[in-house]
Amino acid sequence: MAENVNTAAAPAAAKPPKKVSAASAALRQVVTDVYEAARVAKANGEPIGWSSSKFPAEIAETLGLKIVYPENQAAGIAAQKDGERMCKAAEEMGFDADICGYARISLAYANGVETTNESRRMPLPDFVLCCNNICNCMTKWYENICRMNDIPLIMIDVPYNNHVTVDDSYVEYIKGQFMDAIKQLEKISGRKWDEKKFEEVCNNANRCAQAWLKVCDYCQYKPSPLSGFDLFNHMADVVTARVKPAAAEAFEMLAKELEENVKNGESTLPFPEQHRIMFEGIPCWPDLRALFKPLKTHGLNVTAVVYAPAFGFTYSNFDEMIRAYCKAPNSVCIEQGVDWREGICRDNKVDGVLVHYNRSCKPWSGYMAEMQRRFTADLGIPCVGFDGDQADPRNFNAAQYETRVQGLVEAIEETKRAKEGRA
């Protein structure tokens, strides 16, 4: 298979990372190990796979296959300011500028455009695992990767759910696909399915999810012992390594650190928390500094995010596992979506909501206007939207964002004053 080659000028290297806690360092190492394991496997002639973020990793792990994650890779590339160049490269290949930025970065990479983000360099795939529960654009994105590389696509179709519960017929439909995926991956790996190993992998996944959800729950403290943006950073582990015991151990370590923070009245938030908000959607990875600056100026802590805990799901049997995979932020009906978010807002005691209308994510942004209306009505807090993109910096305007954040703060303060006046 062809190695990746540079096809465009690369930007200058990013600044060195800040000092991190022991748990954060451990979490970083887990993700590094995932990428390294794939590189080693490839060098040893083993087949490696690219997987969508909410494909059941339990199958590949049980069969000892090494997997890496294009969504995580794209986010990492975008955060290291190499997203625009990669997006443009995909556009030069003929992909439209209006499709997902993650997809464009990934398609460019799959076509041989190398990235300056060395930590996110990954070998080209020998097979692809795709599950459309998180996004439908993914289906065509992964099909294109397969065509470019002439490799098999293992697909699990999760139907969009218009109800709050998962119908038994969905479970049967998905179970059939699981069985077929196992057969395909047995052939690719050259190994036989081992039920005992599968059980062990599921236990690891559950342990990791529990630890991750515990970490997310620390945002409920007031003031919060962590910045909500930490959750976005640590998400890489729950996406790429949730079947690995090392990820569970690192999250458990992080939970202990947060417990200490609570005891000592400390926080990873580098400024005093004055107001708490939910950040709805995926962050603008290329613009994290611009995103964070007005929050810092106004003492806003993001104590609620829906994207991060969505990857923390637990189950106790095979059917429950299938049901868990049916519930991703973009594969559930609006009633369930609103309920999830409002629950997090109440639990995490937010004063306002900042909604990212994400040019890269049409399903997410499409129903957001109605969700925003409901948050405002049901929670009685200000809810403000801004335009942006998870990976393409051309779709974000820092000056417009700043005004919207300042307006949100002013509305939060007025709402609090009004509530205090009534009390």
Which residues contribute to the site for other proteins (CB under 8 A)?
Answer: 357, 369, 372-373, 376, 382-385, 387, 395, 397, 399-400, 403-404, 406-407, 410-411, 414-415, 417-418
Of the pair 233, 372, the CB lying nearest other proteins is at 372
Of the pair 242, 275, the CB lying nearest other proteins is at 275
Q: Tokens 């690369």 label which residue?
A: 10
Of the pair 47, 299, the CB lying nearest other proteins is at 299
Continuous H helices in 137-284: 137-149, 168-189, 195-217, 228-240, 245-264
Of the pair 64, 366, the CB lying nearest other proteins is at 366
Rounded Cα distance, 281 and 101, in Å: 14
Of the pair 20, 369, the CB lying nearest other proteins is at 369
Of the pair 123, 382, the CB lying nearest other proteins is at 382
Which strands sit side by side in the sheet containing 127-131, from one edge to the other? Answer: 66-68, 48-51, 127-131, 153-156
Least distance in angstroms from the C-beta of 299 to other proteins: 16
Q: Determine what percent of the chain falls in helix, strand and coil, rounding each to the nearest 5.
A: 55, 10, 35
Burial class (CB within 10 angstroms; exposed 0-12, middle 13-18, buried 19+) of 167: middle
Of the pair 125, 385, the CB lying nearest other proteins is at 385
Least distance in angstroms from the C-beta of 403 to other proteins: 5
Least distance in angstroms from the C-beta of 100 to other proteins: 18
Rounded Cα distance, 85 and 26, in Å: 31
Least distance in angstroms from the C-beta of 369 to other proteins: 6
Beta-bridge partner residues of 127 = 49
Give 89-96 contacts, CB < 8 A, sequence gap 24+: 89/7, 89/8, 89/113
Least distance in angstroms from the C-beta of 164 to other proteins: 25
Output DSSP code: residue 287.
Answer: G
Structure tokens at 188: 């690719």
For residue 329, cis peptide bond before it (omega within 30 degrees of 0): no
Inter-residue contact 144 to 99 (CB < 8 Å): no
Least distance in angstroms from the C-beta of 394 to other proteins: 10
Burial class (CB within 10 angstroms; exposed 0-12, middle 13-18, buried 19+) of 222: exposed
Least distance in angstroms from the C-beta of 90 to other proteins: 21
Least distance in angstroms from the C-beta of 387 to other proteins: 5
Residue of 156, 169, 58, 49 whose CA lies nearest to 110: 49
Using CA atoms, how far residue 162 sits from 119, 131, 135, in Å, is 39, 18, 15
Least distance in angstroms from the C-beta of 372 to other proteins: 7
Which strands sit side by side in the sheet containing 352-358, from one edge to the other? Answer: 300-305, 275-280, 352-358, 383-388
Of the pair 154, 384, the CB lying nearest other proteins is at 384
Of the pair 191, 374, the CB lying nearest other proteins is at 374
Least distance in angstroms from the C-beta of 397 to other proteins: 6
Of the pair 362, 404, the CB lying nearest other proteins is at 404
